[in-house]
Structure 1
Amino acid sequence: MEVEHQLARWDGYVDWRNKPALRGRHGGMLAASFVLVVEILENLAFLANASNLVMYLSEHMHFSPKDSANSVTNFMGTAFLLALLGGFLSDAFLNTYFIYLSSAFLEFLGWLILTVQAQSASLRPAECEANVPCRRVGGAKAAMLFAGLYLAALGIGGIKGSLATHGAEQFDEDTPQGRKQRSTFFNYFVFSLATGALIAVTLVVWIEDNRGWVWGFGISTFTIFLSIPLFLAGSKFYRNKIPCGSPLTTILKVLAASALNTCVAVARSPNNAIASMSASPAFGTSMKMENQQMTKKSSKSLDLLETPSDSLKFLNRAVTRMPAHKLLECTVNEVEDVKIVLKILPVFGCTIMLNCCLAQLSTFSVQQAASMDTKLGSFKVPPASLPVFPVIFIMILAPVYDHLIIPFARKVTKTETGISHLQRIGIGLVLSIVAMGIAALVEIKRKRVATDTGLDTTQPLPITFFWIAFQYLCLGSADLFSLAGLLEFFFTEAPSSMRSLATSLSWASLAMGYFLSTVIVSIVNSATGSAKNKPWLSGPNLNHYHLERFYWLMCALSILNFLHYLFWANRYKYKALNKG
């Protein structure tokens, strides 16, 4: 009975009461379905205001178009970058279950502060008066604004760094069926993101524009609060991974040991013991003898008896000598884990430019649409509702991709994944290039209409906002392919002790994309502004911007980034279970 009970356990996992998780009772698609529902509510709470925040800052807090765009990108970037903190804490100290609950509470407090500020006129700057410059929010009122925003950002980051990993951990990666279900989960996780976004950019944005921002912030506050009991409802089904200690400690330890042993090797003669071991056919046997001695002080003998791989050979020095200090004692598995992390970083870096393009969806593209005719019959569409086009497309494409495209690709390629993760990411990069080219052409058309109408007009231009939908459609499709591909790629390829942190790289890429957008705008304005010429992206009126030139620049940078990506993608070798 004891043996049978032991076999029924999920090794390395516990339930919400910290008791061993059991097969057949914990994990599986039922447990993951709670995560998918919670993600709808979480993303609704986030995007309900993030998609329209640029208008709130410009119209109610009296930011300039450039400053409001940069403030939104900084907020979004910070929220996504803090996913790394959530992922780190999930791997090192707590688990994804508790990180989600604490992060949701922090996000709730952030939206609550902003709801109170939107409700009280005394907490906002005075309304603009005719022929009097608007006074931008400042002092304690600005402090309250940014306190609410960045408290919400802290909660959002923790959720992004834990929720997707929590759902993916519910599946058995040792079976083909479990891995296929996990792939389906990631596709539907993006579907859940899109579902929350659809409600946010339609119903909630309409409420904000017609009933006031107190309703918008209030909906976010209520929604994220509602997600907490719904998440708790699945507690008895979850299997929660036991934290394995700080992954950063392992990475730094291996790098330090490798560097120290390299310095020792350089300091000694070429015929020293290290060089002899590296060159000798008996290197593996010699190292095993050293490791056998070390196992007297360590319980990791099985790991230490392995031989390191030939890739990134400079890291192998971390296990070719007795450590200078016991704190620098490394196993071969730890060295191999660090190698995997270093190999996925170039892929991560290549997606930052794509997310820089995606940042335009919530900044300049919204402002473009606001200057155009947004009427649909007798109904006036809020500019912030434009993301509805890519969102609906994602909701249609995600199930089609999972149930039709992937099964067909599996039959054709005879691989488990059908379309590899890196291929999905590459498709997203190509679509972002197309999107920026379309955005430039649409802006040229919009500027011609503005020139004919009068550049200083404050009335909507006689051109339909549907022209902007094309760039939204391409960028939304790019988001589907790249985000789902990234999430699954990092989770699948990363060492099991670093999965939350590695998966958080998907969101960190978004963060860096938003920050890069801010940096590029600042560099462009510095480079193009002079005593005779105004900067491309400066001033209160979008019609005087050279936005089309900015989009062409983004298109060119995206092409260079794609070539860079091909270099690394062609050299990447998948782990054994995920070839193809």
Structure 2
Amino acid sequence: MVSLTLSAILPQLRPPPCPTQENCQEASSLQLWVLYLSLFLLSAGAGGLRPNVITFAADQFDMTKSEVESRSWNFFNWYFYTMGLSTLISVTVLVYVQDNVGWGLGFGIPAIVMAFSTLVYILGTPLYKKVKPGGAHWWLDRAAILTEDDAKETNFPNLWRLATVHRVEELKSIIRVLPIWGSGILLIASHANQGTFGILQARSMDRSLFHSHSFQIPPASMSIFSILTVLVGLVLYDRLFVCPLLVADVFMSVGHMEFLYDQSPESMRSSAVALYWIAIAAGQYMGTLMVSLVHKYTGKDRNWLPDRNLNRGRLENYFWLATGVQVINLMYYVVCAWFYTYKPLEEAIEINNEGDVELGSGDGTSKALSDANGNVELAVTK
């Protein structure tokens, strides 16, 4: 955010203004490199933060079945509700600042807020409940087989090569959710272009309020209506009605995240939640691919998505295409949900350092493995 703010403030890091929109000076290689580096750092930071912040926050509460059912509030609802409020502020207050004051202050405000939030997080470190990582998990049944050479070893086993039955089952539970997880990719693919086509459509609309031209809604703020719909849907989620509402963002955000969190093993919830953001990223790329293919193959005379003026295109045909894709995606999701076997929400049982072991199933005998931290688990001997 700091480098992005500097690129908007310093004249050396941005091309000169071009009010006439004619014969404008292009950005130099240095200016583009600074911009791309800033965007890369933002993406890298978001990639490290988003999959972990929700599981870390959930670890601060008792998420066992009895406690969750006794609470009158839903943690995931509140998480996405605060995200919706922050997005609402960004598309209203920050967009107004960027349009009427300047891009430097518009980027500077979130940079200051992010620095303040980082400081608050660091100061609260002693108060957090920290769950120790459970190690690597990428094995199948073969990885849990204890060979004769492994049985002869007296030192700590290499748990990167020899896995326990419990960890193998953890990976299997992640694999089982992948078909339903994949249905979210196509949903995001159709939703991905809302921020681009929505702004382009808004630029050609009459955005004045109550037929008064003294104030017009900025094009970038038109998404406020979809955000308000999501916020209202979050309030109604699990309260009044769910099925008749049909608000895709509410189901995709809260429902998808809850599904991945509840159906994943306790020690792999950060990895499972990361799948949610991977689905969003894959959906964004797939949405871009859809736009490129439609633009390329819908003809030059009457292109659905023209380069300059959307009024000369057939944007409604693209939306009908996206609707057809979602119909197919819905049928795929229903089939996956029909055959999926849900994991019961059981009370979490932690493996402690007092000699508790995890019971594995299957043929053969079992041998207790103790790692360097003193955790005891089982492997199967064939």
TM-score, with structure 1 as normaliser: 0.54
1:522 equivalent among 292, 305, 310? 292
2:32 equivalent among 142, 145, 152? 142
Q: Distance in 2 between matches of 1:335 and 1:507?
A: 24
Change (3 A) 1:153 1:563: same
Q: Distance in 2 between matches of 1:574 and 1:500?
A: 19
The alpha carbon displacement at 1:180 in A equals 5.5
- 1:170-249 matches, within 5 Å, as 170-178=60-68, 181=71, 184-246=74-136
Q: Show CA shifts across 1:299-346 (max 9, x none).
A: 99xxxxxxxxxxxxxxxxxxxxxxxx9964333222211211111111
- 1:373-522 matches, within 5 Å, as 373-376=206-209, 377=212, 378-402=214-238, 404-405=239-240, 431=246, 477-522=247-292
Structure 2 gaps of 5+ residues are 347-382
Check whether the contact 1:171–1:179 (CA below 8 A) recurs between aligned residues.
no
Aligned residues: 343
Partner of 2:164: 331
Q: Distance in 2 between matches of 1:182 and 1:504?
A: 27
The alpha carbon displacement at 1:296 in A equals 7.1
- 1:305-384 matches, within 5 Å, as 328-376=161-209, 377=212, 378-384=214-220
Structure 1 gaps of 5+ residues are 1-110, 262-286, 301-324, 407-418, 432-476
Q: Distance in 2 between matches of 1:569 and 1:517?
A: 24
The alpha carbon displacement at 1:183 in A equals 7.0
SS in 1 for 2:12: helix
Q: Distance in 2 between matches of 1:400 and 1:137?
A: 47
User: What's the % identity of the aligned pairs?
Assistant: 32
SS in 2 for 1:548: helix
SS in 1 for 2:237: helix
Q: Distance in 1 between matches of 2:185 and 2:333?
A: 11
Check whether the contact 1:167–1:185 (CA below 8 A) recurs between aligned residues.
no
Matched, 1:254 2:140: yes
Instruction: Tell me which stretches of 4 or more aligned residues in structure 1 moved more than 6 Å.
Output: 290-296
Which amino acid is the alignment partner of residue 396 of structure 1? Answer: V
SS in 2 for 1:127: coil
Q: Show CA shifts across 1:437-472 (max 9, x none).
A: xxxxxxxxxxxxxxxxxxxxxxxxxxxxxxxxxxxx
The alpha carbon displacement at 1:521 in A equals 1.0
Change (3 A) 1:291 1:145: closer
Check whether the contact 2:260–2:273 (CA below 8 A) recurs between aligned residues.
yes
Check whether the contact 1:356–1:517 (CA below 8 A) recurs between aligned residues.
yes
Q: Distance in 1 between matches of 2:254 and 2:154?
A: 40
Q: Show CA shifts across 1:113-149 (max 9, x none).
A: 1111111233222333758443443411111111111
> Which protein has the bigger helix share?
1
Q: Distance in 1 between matches of 2:275 and 2:232?
A: 26
Q: Distance in 2 between matches of 1:131 and 1:333?
A: 63
Matched, 1:540 2:375: no
Q: Distance in 1 between matches of 2:65 and 2:290?
A: 46
Partner of 2:4: 114
The alpha carbon displacement at 1:488 in A equals 1.4
Check whether the contact 1:491–1:503 (CA below 8 A) recurs between aligned residues.
yes
SS in 2 for 1:379: strand
Q: Show CA shifts across 1:344-376 (max 9, x none).
A: 111111001111222122111111011111111
Check whether the contact 1:359–1:517 (CA below 8 A) recurs between aligned residues.
yes
Check whether the contact 1:171–1:182 (CA below 8 A) recurs between aligned residues.
no
SS in 2 for 1:351: helix
SS in 2 for 1:122: helix
The alpha carbon displacement at 1:536 in A equals 2.7
Check whether the contact 2:65–2:345 (CA below 8 A) recurs between aligned residues.
no
Partner of 2:17: 127
Check whether the contact 2:183–2:329 (CA below 8 A) recurs between aligned residues.
yes
Partner of 2:364: none
SS in 1 for 2:192: helix
The alpha carbon displacement at 1:540 in A equals 2.1
Which amino acid is the alignment partner of residue 379 of structure 1? Answer: F
Q: Distance in 2 between matches of 1:146 and 1:535?
A: 30
Q: Distance in 2 between matches of 1:487 and 1:298?
A: 43
Instruction: Give the CA RMSD over aligned residues.
Output: 3.1
Q: Distance in 2 between matches of 1:188 and 1:493?
A: 20
Partner of 1:107: none
Q: Distance in 2 between matches of 1:353 and 1:490?
A: 17
Check whether the contact 1:188–1:399 (CA below 8 A) recurs between aligned residues.
no
Q: Distance in 1 between matches of 2:305 and 2:267?
A: 45
Check whether the contact 2:302–2:314 (CA below 8 A) recurs between aligned residues.
no
The alpha carbon displacement at 1:510 in A equals 1.2
Check whether the contact 2:55–2:270 (CA below 8 A) recurs between aligned residues.
yes
Q: Distance in 2 between matches of 1:540 and 1:199?
A: 30
Check whether the contact 1:171–1:178 (CA below 8 A) recurs between aligned residues.
no
